[in-house]
């Protein structure tokens, strides 16, 4: 790990030097206007050509440096490489798409292969494994494309359109015009390879830190010195959260377990957790007294000492190095929202604030309190009693999933086909999708990894124990399978490669949630409860409420970092905890008690997936609207109708999918109706 961090520091130093030495915008407005005028005269009479010329020349000039040539050479380049003929432009687009698929597909496959020792269960990764995992095969792609002038040809002929322009003009665009616009999104920045590699190394280090952050539950002690959990290793935060959810039907004993997990989480957040108990079964730990014993004797130990927040801060510095090379999206926040999500920070904040402040939250909280027969506590943000499985014994579920799926091959050859069959996919489509997904046992909590070329497979990763896949692993596998189905359909069934995928990751989360919510159906459990639909609505509602607060904490902390770029790790830690407490006090204290709870800061995504968290609640909102669309219809038929639309903007995609834009109002209204049904 020391070598990996040292490599990151070297890359960041090189990036800083490149940052200082870089000269952009070597072409002034006089040259731009002259070039535009010359091209307009050359192609005079062609309808609508002037706007495309102006956009292309202006945007290409923004990236042209002294090393690329003189202003005169820039003008000559534009005159020689601008394509006016529609047929010739269409042929150019097809060639670009074909070559990008080859490049991006191979880059992605190399990444998958190099990260196998880190992501897939097996022998402990070596230092060399970590170094290869941090290597980015595509780090030089941007540099090479600009140096070869390929990027300039793309920018010149397929100019960039802003999100506002896509949302307005896109209403009347053909599919080919959308593909042209997405080609215009390929080169919106000219980030040096050193910066790309530094960021890759940093995120790999953060991911490795989180993937190996396990709590040995069988070695936790209560104040009476008793072990109240069986031996199991749970990754934070996912494993701890999911374990907490399983104890809602166990009375006082279950409540004691939940409170202990909550205390463990608090120790992780404030970094008072003893370093020696992380992923280490050699010690017993009382998280209340924060004492550690070995062989029955108390030992002196050191806390983790802000390691969690050092990774957070290092992520910020690595992403910050990309800022000046992104004229369209000059901050990591802008890139996360306006570029990746194609929704503004302010729009997301307003959406979440309105939802979390709604009167329905208080009404649902009262219902949960009645169902539990006690006052709510902070960890009840993870209340799981609206799910069908809440009345089932998880040990029994795990016994069934272990029997069905003793290994990855069983889930790949039996589980996935069975799920698709139950959703209504044809046998031909079933076989096609399953043949393009590879199942691996995950070292971390689990994830789905897409393919970027049609000759490669998507990857499904979930935890599979030596005795088979337990229910938690199965539940994750079903979720990740939903991602893989989306990834396969939106790669193979979309008409233009450049349009592959979905508007943003929230839309793939929506389909993953749609799969996950049916996990017991896939196991053969029949639910004839007349309140099933109401319970499902309330489950989605409460899940949104929980994750929106977490997302707001992540968003506000990144905003604070940009306002305080020189912050120390101690200052960041203090701010993250303060922000979590402020968000908690604003939206949660009145219903869940405990002023100043820091629990919203526990999410591991804050450390290993910067600014990803807003996609989850946004995905829940989309999921609910999608579920409304699926009612009474073939799920498979609707998936095959909706998802080949590919990467439109969110609002265009939603209008195609469900006939309306993204909104929380349908879920708020449905929650009110569900509450009436429950009464």
Q: Could you report the per-residue pLDDT of 218-256, keeping only the tens digit for each?
A: 999 999 999 999 999 999 999 999 999 999 989 999 999
Question: What are the tens digits of pLDDT across the range 273-306?
Answer: 999 999 999 999 999 999 999 999 999 999 999 9
Residue 315 lies in a domain: no
pTM for the model: 0.84
**Among the three residues 494, 522, 550, which one is the final residue of a domain in this structure?**
522
Handedness of CA 396, 401, 402, 403 (dihedral sign): positive
Would strands 297-299 and 233-235 be described as parallel, antiparallel, or unpaired? unpaired
Q: Are residues 172 and 40 in the same domain?
A: yes
Q: Are residues 17 and 120 in the same domain?
A: yes
CB 220 within 8 A of CB 227: yes
Residue 153 lies in a domain: yes
Q: Are residues 291 and 272 in the same domain?
A: yes
**Among the three residues 198, 219, 235, which one is the final residue of a domain in this structure?**
198
Q: Which domain holds residue 485?
A: 393-505+518-522
Question: What are the tens digits of pLDDT across the range 298-340?
Answer: 999 999 999 999 999 999 999 999 999 998 999 999 999 999 9
Q: Are residues 283 and 412 in the same domain?
A: no
In 410-504 the beta strands, taken as DSSP E runs, fall at 437-441, 446-449, 458-462
Residue 203 lies in a domain: no
**Among the three residues 522, 550, 579, which one is the final residue of a domain in this structure?**
522
Strand partners, 216: 233
Q: Are residues 381 and 401 in the same domain?
A: no
What's the structural domain count of the chain?
A: 4
pLDDT at 392: 80
Q: Are residues 277 and 258 in the same domain?
A: yes
Q: Are residues 67 and 175 in the same domain?
A: yes
pLDDT at 403: 97
Assigned token pair, 431: 């076989």
d(CA 129, CA 146): 31
Coil, strand or helix at 358: coil
Residue 451 lies in a domain: yes
Q: Are residues 383 and 409 in the same domain?
A: no
Residue 640 lies in a domain: yes
Residue 400 lies in a domain: yes
pLDDT at 456: 97
Residue 510 lies in a domain: no
Q: Are residues 380 and 400 in the same domain?
A: no
Q: Are residues 437 and 550 in the same domain?
A: no
pLDDT at 10: 45
Q: Are residues 186 and 227 in the same domain?
A: no
Residue 513 lies in a domain: no
pLDDT at 241: 96
d(CA 238, CA 602): 10
CB 119 within 8 A of CB 444: yes
Q: Are residues 53 and 168 in the same domain?
A: yes
Residue ranges for the chain with pLDDT beneath 50 = 1-10, 17-23
d(CA 549, CA 618): 12
pLDDT at 364: 98
Residue 6's alpha-carbon distances to 12, 131, 175, 204, 654, in angstroms, are 10, 11, 47, 13, 45
CB 190 within 8 A of CB 219: no
Which residues, including other chains, have CB under 8 Å from residue 546's CB and lie 6 or more apart?
A: 381, 382
Would strands 233-235 and 446-449 be described as parallel, antiparallel, or unpaired? unpaired
């Amino acid at each position: 790990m020391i070598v990996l961090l040292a490599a990151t520091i070297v890359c960041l130093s090189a990036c800083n030097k490149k940052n200082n030495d870089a000269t952009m915008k070597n072409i002034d407005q006089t040259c731009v206007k002259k070039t535009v005028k010359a091209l307009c005269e050359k192609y005079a009479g062609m309808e609508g050509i002037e706007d495309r010329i102006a956009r292309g020349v202006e945007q290409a000039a923004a990236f042209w440096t002294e090393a690329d040539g003189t202003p005169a050479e820039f003008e000559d380049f534009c005159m020689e490489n601008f394509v006016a003929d529609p047929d010739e432009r269409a042929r150019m687009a097809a060639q670009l798409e074909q070559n990008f698929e080859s490049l991006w597909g191979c880059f992605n496959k190399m990444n998958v292969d190099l990260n196998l020792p880190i992501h897939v269960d097996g022998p402990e990764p070596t230092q060399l494994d970590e170094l290869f995992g941090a290597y980015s095969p595509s780090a030089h792609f941007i540099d090479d494309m600009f140096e070869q002038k390929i990027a300039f040809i793309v920018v010149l002929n397929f100019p960039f359109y802003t999100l506002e322009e896509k949302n307005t003009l896109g209403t009347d665009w053909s599919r080919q015009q959308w593909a042209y616009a997405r080609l215009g999104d390929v080169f919106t920045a000219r980030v040096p390879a050193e910066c790309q590699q530094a960021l890759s190394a940093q995120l790999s280090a953060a991911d490795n830190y989180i993937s190996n952050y396990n709590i040995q539950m069988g070695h936790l002690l209560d104040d009476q010195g008793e072990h109240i959990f069986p031996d199991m290793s749970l990754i934070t935060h996912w494993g701890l959260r999911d374990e907490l959810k399983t104890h809602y039907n166990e009375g006082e004993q279950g409540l004691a377990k939940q409170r202990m997990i909550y205390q463990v989480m608090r120790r992780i957040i404030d970094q008072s957790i003893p370093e020696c108990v992380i992923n280490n079964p050699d010690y017993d730990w009382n998280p209340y007294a924060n004492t550690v014993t070995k062989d029955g004797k108390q030992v002196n130990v050191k806390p983790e000492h802000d390691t969690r927040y050092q990774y957070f801060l290092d992520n910020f510095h690595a992403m910050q190095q990309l800022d000046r090379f992104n004229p369209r999206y000059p901050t990591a926040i802008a890139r996360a929202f306006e570029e990746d999500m194609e929704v503004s920070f302010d729009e997301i904040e307003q959406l979440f604030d309105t939802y979390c402040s709604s009167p329905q939250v208080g009404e649902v909280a009262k219902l949960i309190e009645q169902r539990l027969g006690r006052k709510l506590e902070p960890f009840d943000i993870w209340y799981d009693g609206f799910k069908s499985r809440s009345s089932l014994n998880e040990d029994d579920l795990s016994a069934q999933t272990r029997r069905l799926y003793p290994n990855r091959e069983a889930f790949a050859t039996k589980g996935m086909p069975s799920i698709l069959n139950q959703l209504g996919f044809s046998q031909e489509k079933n076989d096609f999708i399953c043949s393009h997904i590879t199942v691996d046992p995950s070292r971390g909590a689990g994830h789905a990894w897409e393919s970027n070329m049609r000759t490669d497979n998507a990857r499904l990763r979930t935890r599979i124990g030596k005795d088979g896949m337990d229910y938690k692993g199965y539940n994750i596998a079903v979720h990740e399978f939903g991602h893989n189905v989306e990834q396969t359909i939106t790669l193979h069934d979309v008409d233009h490669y450049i349009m592959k995928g979905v508007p943003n990751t929230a839309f793939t989360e929506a389909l993953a949630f749609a799969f996950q919510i049916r996990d017991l159906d896939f196991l053969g459990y029949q639910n004839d409860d007349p309140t099933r639909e109401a319970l499902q609505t309330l489950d989605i509602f409460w899940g949104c409420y929980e994750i929106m607060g977490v997302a707001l904490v992540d968003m506000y902390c990144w905003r604070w970092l940009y306002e305080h770029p020189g912050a120390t790790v101690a200052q960041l830690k203090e701010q993250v905890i303060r922000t979590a407490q402020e968000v908690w006090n604003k939206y949660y204290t009145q219903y869940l008690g405990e002023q100043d709870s820091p629990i919203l800061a526990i999410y591991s995504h804050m450390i290993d997936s910067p600014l990803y968290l807003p996609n989850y609640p946004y995905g829940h909102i989309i999921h609910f609207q999608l579920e409304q669309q699926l009612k009474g219809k073939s799920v498979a038929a609707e998936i095959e109708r909706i998802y080949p639309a590919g990467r439109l903007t969110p609002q265009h995609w939603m209008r195609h999918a469900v006939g309306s834009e993204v909104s929380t109002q349908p879920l708020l209204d449905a929650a009110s109706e569900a509450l009436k049904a429950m009464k």
